Chain A
Amino acid sequence: MSSDPRVRENKAVETGIDALLARTYRHGFVTDIDSDTLPPGLDEDVVRFISRRKKEPEFLTNWRLKAFRHWLTMKEPHWAHLRVHPIDYQGISYFSAPKRDPNAPKSLADVDPKLLATYEKLGVPLHERARLAGVAVDAVFDSVSVATTFKERLAEAGVVFCSFSDAVLNHPALIEQYLGTVVPHTDNFFAALNSAVFSDGSFVYVPTGVRCPMELSTYFRINAKNTGQFERTLIIAAPGSHVSYLEGCTAPMRDENQLHAAVVELIAEDDAEIKYSTVQNWYPGDENGVGGIYNFVTKRGECRGRSSKISWTQVETGSAITWKYPSCVLKGENSIGEFYSVALANNYQQADTGTKMIHIGANTRSTIVSKGISAGHGQNSYRGLVKILPSAHGARNFTQCDSLLMGGNCGAHTFPYIETRNPTATVEHEASTSKISEDQLFYCLQRGIDEEDAVNMIVSGFCKTVLDVLPMEFAVEAQNLLAVSLEGAVG
């Protein structure tokens, strides 16, 4: 084991945490190939190390450094309706190369039976259960052949679908052209941090006129494991193309990482369409609010071309704290932005989520449907901005924002912001708050339906308009997921 020579050249960064950092670095980097993990801490050398390890071209190294320097000037945002425990950014390790965990379970028999019972309820396929539970890869051979078949079909259509790291190596021109053009490295605190230290993620390029022959999902991209806390996704739909991307997985990821700060950028050129569906079920913490993921994500799509369309659909049931606002910048004339969301906060979960629809082009249209469910001590906030710029003649927005409360200790909050600077625009906002009423519950019970099924039925009914726009197999899993997440929420 030898220390990395670059550590000795460590240039002091003008922040007060350097002393602390220097101490950490006395031990140097662990350069053993099999266990490439940086000690906790973040400075320019860490950023350079990550970039070098990933064999990135210079432009990307410089871009990361620019982002890092900007991040140092920024403050953690606290405007959201959330209570966040202080995050120690120097206490996080920013690089851990994909490796086999010697403690990973060898087979499903070694996995926590409680976790398996949940997978069972969700109807997750067996080989996927193994993957999720972290069973060593060679035990999960099923999905390898599946993935290969899919890759061949995509290649035939000319669709590029690979990990972000592979894209950097194989399609550097596309990365240089598009990276950071929707979410600049200066965008916000977490996006800047992500830009500096992002580990991996997904890259999709759909060429002109191509309709992607299948739903793209990380499920089929097994090389994307261990993408870690700082995921970066970039999807480009060339003119006249069409792609539907499914993110996440419906089974609970027992990831103990505290902070997830991902960035997703979507670009739709003329007449192109991107549909991005998320089912997020990161570890929400236990019923007492201990543990769980902080999910601080920046997602934004730009309808760059005329008559392009970007549609976000999300079902958020996990994470201790969710802070995300998948947004659409509607530049192209006649372009369309959509946001369909179900966010659930149970136990001590907190969600502050919504969207931004920025209307720039003429006759741009946007639709927002948000369904918030609060149970236990959960706090659920919808925060949405509809902004109509002077250039957006004839722009239209429709917003519907509904909250469902279960029990007396939870909360639902709505923060709609509307800025209209063009008198020809039409903006509609509808909002409602309701409780699962004793009457509804009694009605179902009187029909012989048990309480848990009754609650699930009522909740699914409440979310129907959103679940309806999810790809079908996803919708079924999402519904199961809502049911599992609400277990014991009533009674």
Chain B
Amino acid sequence: MTALLEIRDLSAKAGGKSVLTGLSLTINAGEVHAIMGPNGSGKSTLAYVLAGRPGYDITGGTVQYRGRDLLSLPTEERARAGLFLGFQYPVEIPGVNNIYLLKAALNAKRRAAGQPEVDAYEFLQLVRAKMKLMQMDESFLKRGVNEGFSGGEKKRNEILQMLVIEPTLAVLDETDSGLDIDALKVVARGVNTLRSAERGVLLITHYQRLLDHVVPDQVHVLARGRIAKSGDKSLALELEKRGYDWVLEVA
């Protein structure tokens, strides 16, 4: 098994405050990992640090991604190397067509891989197929990026982008929160479509219910900036029943 992502003793500060405190985690190709944990335990920070968002000080540790030092790469190069972040709160970019952003993103990745830019017709076919899977109306393509989208539409749009870009490692930050059960199933279907022997997925979630639809290989509990407990799917069920306190006490 090859390790896609190897995080070792990662520590990070935001606004002078320690948020990650020696976090270690390995995701192998083909695996889906879920990270759960109470508010403020560092879940979103982990996602942002992996993606390279400004505003975080890395104070210790290393992150290897497909054998490269991830933290030394600029944000856009991490993305082109196959790291995708599904945002918890996708931002609106008024006036920029969804399809335009999608195409620019796909082409950026293709160029980096030495592939030719995608042909306009082929691209449209590809996007249409993925939209059908996500049960999205084609009018989405002509709308501004996330402009005036409902919460659920924004999340679907994130998964649509993921399906078009086809990342090697997808980090999904609470993609399930705020979704009704039907939308949750659609999003889960999207994630399951991406699953393959070469890819990895890191699901950050508050709720066990997503894991009914996307079954993880491992579940981790994040507490005070590090992994407090790991287990299989049954850990999520246990957390659902007992809450986080018992894990925190042990940690």
Enumerate chain A interface residues (CB-CB to B < 8 A). 437-440, 442-451, 453, 457-458, 460-465
Contacts and interface: CB of A to CB of B under 8 A. Distances in A.
A457 B100 CA distance: 9
A458 B93 contact: yes
Given A438-B54, A460-B96, A462-B94, A448 B87 contact: no
B101 A457 contact: yes
A464 B94 CA distance: 9
B95 interface: yes
A443 B79 contact: no
B93 A447 contact: no
15 contacts: A443-B87, A443-B90, A443-B91, A446-B53, A448-B80, A448-B112, A448-B165, A449-B76, A449-B101, A450-B108, A457-B100, A458-B93, A462-B94, A462-B95, A465-B95
A447 B79 contact: yes
A461 to B, nearest CB: 3
A460 B87 contact: no
A442 B53 contact: yes
A136 B94 CA distance: 45
Nearest to A437: B91
B76 A457 contact: no
Interface string B68-98: 0000001110111000110100110111100
A445 B75 contact: yes
Closest A-B pairs by Cβ, 6 of them: A461-B95, A461-B96, A448-B108, A464-B95, A447-B105, A448-B79
A223 B205 CA distance: 69
A460 B101 CA distance: 12
Contacts of B74: 445
Contacts of A440: 91, 93
B155 interface: no
A238 B85 CA distance: 59
Contacts of B79: 445-448
A446 B51 contact: yes
Given A445-B75, A446-B84, A464-B95, 18 more contacts: A440-B93, A445-B76, A446-B78, A446-B85, A446-B87, A448-B76, A448-B112, A448-B165, A449-B101, A450-B108, A451-B76, A457-B93, A457-B100, A458-B96, A461-B93, A461-B95, A461-B96, A462-B95
A478 B51 CA distance: 33
Nearest to B108: A448
Contacts of A438: 54-55
B54 A442 contact: yes
B147 to A, nearest CB: 9
B126 to A, nearest CB: 16
Contacts of B156: none
B95 A460 contact: yes
B91 A449 contact: no
